[in-house]
Amino acid sequence: MFSHAFDFAFEVTSAKQDASDVTPAMLRLALLRRAITVSDAELVEACDCFDTAEVSHD
């Protein structure tokens, strides 16, 4: 068995170039909106597997 870690692409609009004004609430809302609206085909493109580890069957 394997455990896979994924990144999930989404975007947040803010007033500051360095994103220092992005709050946890803004991140959560943007992430949830993206997860709800993305099609199955887009979901494959929006996710990137960046790590894999073997895990036990327990």
Q: With left for phi above 0 and alpha for psi between -120 and 50, is residue 14 left, alpha or beta?
A: beta
- Amino acid at the residue 30: A
Residues 2-55 pLDDT 10s: 999 999 999 999 999 999 999 999 999 999 999 999 999 999 999 999 999 999
**Are 9 and 58 within 8 A, CB to CB?**
no
Q: Taking Cα atoms as reference points, which of 50, 6, 3 lies closest to residue 31?
A: 6
Q: Taking Cα atoms as reference points, which of 35, 57, 56 lies closest to residue 46?
A: 35
Residue 5 main-chain phi, psi, to 5 deg? -100, 135
The pLDDT-based confidence of 57 (bands split at 50, 70, 90) is confident
